């Protein structure tokens, strides 16, 4: 009974008709508590739940990728995992958002010790938060601190225009409910170890794909923003939420190496995959409200996914 349900689920999204019924989606939802949490962000659409799949995919390749490229990196859990676990020779992590980029640039190129100290010394209350966030600054490290602060105290970690501070939070702790300075400092401090391994670029992911498209030993993981109008519950999740998905699929079809994409489940996405003869599989996940849902895995070949 369970098995036949899964098979029909596959065929619903099977754009290539090449996926055999024994390549079934793993309907066991990953327990994210079993995955090392390495990112300083609580990121909307974060992919901690995908970490076991990414490990499995990269380990299935006949050669360790020369470069692992993540053109829409956001909270970066996938790139960080690949770098820490040495799943590729080099990692290139790309993000367009200026605030998010300031954090990654500070961590991988800037005065990371200043940032760590600022986090540890910060006395969090509404006044101190208002003071920090309202400061106009062009200094990368300061923008990084503002961004981390916003990310931890705004609803759902959403920093895009229209978002606001948590009012009650866990156990009525309000803005403090997600502020764990020691943990943040430790995670950021750990990243010093992978500075030589990971290159962060503030850039348009599309341009970076083109730069690395021709090397057959490169592997790309692509997680572009994709929800109806880029919104959930009336608030935009990201400042940069509009992406030319048709163009992205066309570019992926020209990638000489390997790629894996994740998308929200939608007929439109399946149709784009079909146009380029990509394979599609639904994968189970839980959203931030612990609701079981599926997202789509898309690639030229998903036969490694068993
Ligand atoms: C779905 S989120 C990625 C989440 C990420 N996988 C994680 O685990 O945190 C998509 C990200 O793409 C970024 N983005 C949107 N357009 C972009 C572009 N043209 N180039 C690079 N990044 C872009 C957004 O700012 C957002 O952070």
- 204: Cβ below 6 Å to ligand 1? yes
251-272: average pLDDT: 96
Query: Ligand 1: which of 238, 244, 263, 296 to mutate, most ligand atoms within 8 Å of CB?
Result: 238
DSSP letters of 168-200? S-GGG-GGGGG--HHHHHHHHHHGGGGTTTEEE
- 45: Cβ below 6 Å to ligand 1? yes
Q: How far is the centre of ligand 1, averaged over its atoms, from the C-alpha of 23 (Å)?
A: 29
Q: How far is the centre of ligand 1, averaged over its atoms, from the C-alpha of 94 (Å)?
A: 8
212-222: average pLDDT: 98
Reply yes or no on whether the pLDDT at 111 is more than 80.
yes
Return the higher-pLDDT residue of 62 and 177: 62
- 38: Cβ below 6 Å to ligand 1? no
Query: Ligand 1: which of 70, 225, 232, 251 to mutate, most ligand atoms within 8 Å of CB?
Result: 225
Contact of 175 with 129, CB cutoff 8 Å: yes
State pLDDT tens for residues 60-77.
999 999 999 999 999 999
pTM: 0.89
State pLDDT tens for residues 10-55.
434 444 433 333 333 455 777 888 899 999 999 999 999 999 999 9
Q: Domain boundaries in the chain?
A: 1-30+265-303, 31-264
Q: pLDDT tier at 158 (50, 70, 90 boundaries)?
A: confident
Cα(first)–Cα(last) distance of the chain, in Å? 19
Query: Of ligand 1's atoms, which has the minimum distance to the CA of residue 204?
Result: 20
Question: Percent of the chain having pLDDT more than 70?
Answer: 85
């Amino acid at each position: 009974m369970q098995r036949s349900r899964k098979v029909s689920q596959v065929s619903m999204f099977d754009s290539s008709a090449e996926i055999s019924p024994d390549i079934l989606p793993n309907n066991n939802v990953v327990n994210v508590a079993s995955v090392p949490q390495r990112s300083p962000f609580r990121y909307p659409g974060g992919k901690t739940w995908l970490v076991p799949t990414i490990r499995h995919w990269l380990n299935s390749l006949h050669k360790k990728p020369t470069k692992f490229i993540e053109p829409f990196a956001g909270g970066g859990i996938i790139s960080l995992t690949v770098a820490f676990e040495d799943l590729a020779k080099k990692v290139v992590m790309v993000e367009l958002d200026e605030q998010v980029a300031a954090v990654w640039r500070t961590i991988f190129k800037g005065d990371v010790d200043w940032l760590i100290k600022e986090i540890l010394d910060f006395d969090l209350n509404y006044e101190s938060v208002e003071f920090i966030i309202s400061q106009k600054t062009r200094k990368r490290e300061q923008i990084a601190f503002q961004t981390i602060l916003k990310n931890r105290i705004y609803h759902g970690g959403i920093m895009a225009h229209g978002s606001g501070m948590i009012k009650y939070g866990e156990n009525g702790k309000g803005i403090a409910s997600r502020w764990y300075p020691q943990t943040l400092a430790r995670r950021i401090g750990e990243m010093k170890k992978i500075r030589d391994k990971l290159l962060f670029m503030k850039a348009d992911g599309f341009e970076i794909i083109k730069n690395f498209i021709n090397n057959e030993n490169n592997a790309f993981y692509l997680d572009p923003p994709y929800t109806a109008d880029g919104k959930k519950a009336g608030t935009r999740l990201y400042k940069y939420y509009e992406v030319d998905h048709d163009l992205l699929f066309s570019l992926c079809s020209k990638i000489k190496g390997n790629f894996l994409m994740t998308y929200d489940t939608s007929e439109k996405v399946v149709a784009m995959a079909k146009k380029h003869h990509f394979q599609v599989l639904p994968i189970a996940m839980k959203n931030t409200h612990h609701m079981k849902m599926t997202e789509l895995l898309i690639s030229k070949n998903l036969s490694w996914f068993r």
